[in-house]
Amino acid sequence: MPPHSVPPGIPGSKMPGEAERQLRRMVAELLERDTDRFPGAQPISFAREHLHELQRSEYFMCEKTDGIRCLLFLTFSNNEDGSFRAEHFFIDRKNNFYQVPPGLHFPHNSEPHNETIFTYGTLLDGELVHDFVANDPRPRLMFYIFDCLAVDGENITKKPLDKRLGKLHVNFFEPLSIWRQRHPEAQGRAPFHVKLKAVHSPYHVSDMFKHILPTLPHGNDGLIFTCKSTPYRFGTDEHILKWKPPQENTIDFKLRLGEFPTFDPQDGEEGEIPDFDAMPDRFMLLVQHSNNQYKPFQHDLYIEEAEWEILKALEQPLDGRIIECYREPSGRWRYKREEDGTPRWRDDKKDANHISTVNSVLESIEDPVTEEDLIAAEGRIKEAVHALRARDAAAAQARQRQEAENIQRRRRDMEVRGDAEQEAKKRKLSNGID
């Protein structure tokens, strides 16, 4: 994995209270929702039953980027002279809004060469990550876009994924490509770069493991399978499947420190005080349940003395933070390590995983679908997908034939009515002459 793939934070300045609330309402209105909560879709863990799901419906497959999940909101505001200026905001999973620094221009598809006309009313789903490229020691901040909720003021969440991606390509990336060709210097001014995440068919999974994942310029911790024919769903979506190798199956818990041992400081005061240098008696892992209630997980986090020293050296609050953990083969739960040995804190998340997600991950841990299992199913998936495409093509042809027949029928009806009207006129004229 390239070093430090996950960016240290989201570029831009966090919006203050009332301005942020107004932006949330704007997004809710754009998406025709009656709530201003974070609208991003969330995957479920890949279980063994999903090998059959990939044969029942057609899915798109992409690599799971190890970065920061964000939405990018393109909007505008008014200048004092009555003109408009583009504004761009990242939205994290806590539903915080960050105003992106200047330097970006997303042209409108109607006039991609015109720098005064820009795209707005657009909401993009993607991942912020550091890319590392050859002969450049500096990381390149990228936003990989994998879905689109709204474009040019149109809510497209009810459209299937392939249609949403089509809109994204025509209305966003095509004009952007034209603009970049004419203004190559603009890339140097941008605070980050945008790129469409590549998608593949699941029956190319062996090629994904053999050729694509090893050459990625950023970190990766699995695969994502998204149903081609379903709409965008706010919140948990059972048609977005997150596959991770067994060693990457993790759960995000809320950490709760137990009781610290006490000691007498011999300062003349009566009583003992907590010794915060010593390890607490336990490191509880809390899981979110209904009504945002937290309950202890059945296992505590296992921490060694050396790890406790690392945690203390951070000089940061520990209690109540979201921490990413995995289960060792021995059954002990450990925190996922960064390269410097510190925990993978999920400060980008407001809450720990819900109990439904926890149970889903535990199922994946108990009965993991391995890389070999996916490759073994490749042939069956290919055969099933080709059959699905043939069925859809036949259905489309049948609809076209039916529509052609309907047009012919309407045309004949119009001709018959026209002949009848002409005959009636003739009779009327004949009766008048008589």
Catalytic residue numbers read 64
Q: What is the largest CA-CA distance in the chain?
A: 132
Strands 283-288 and 220-227: unpaired
Query: Alpha-carbon distance 228 to 339, whole Å?
Result: 36
Find the helix or strand (DSSP H, E) in which 188 lies. helix 186-189
In terms of Cβ atoms closer than 10 Å to its own Cβ (0-12, 13-18, 19+), residue 135 is exposed
Candidates 369, 373, 355, 129; CA nearest to 243 is: 369
323 secondary structure, DSSP code: E
Work out the number of other CB atoms within 10 angstroms of the CB of residue 305. 7
Phi, psi torsion values for 115, nearest 5 degrees: -75, -10
Rounded distance between C-alpha atoms, residue 186 and residue 104, angstroms: 8
User: Is residue 313 within 8 Å of residue 269, measured between CB atoms?
Assistant: no
Which residues lie below 8 Å from residue 163, measured CB to CB, with a gap of 6+? 156
Distance, CA of 325 to chain centre: 21
DSSP for residue 220: E
Look at strands 140-151 and 193-196 and give their pairing.
Answer: parallel
Q: Residue holding tokens 């929702």?
A: 33
**Cα–Cα distance for residue pair 49/280, rounded to 1 Å:** 41
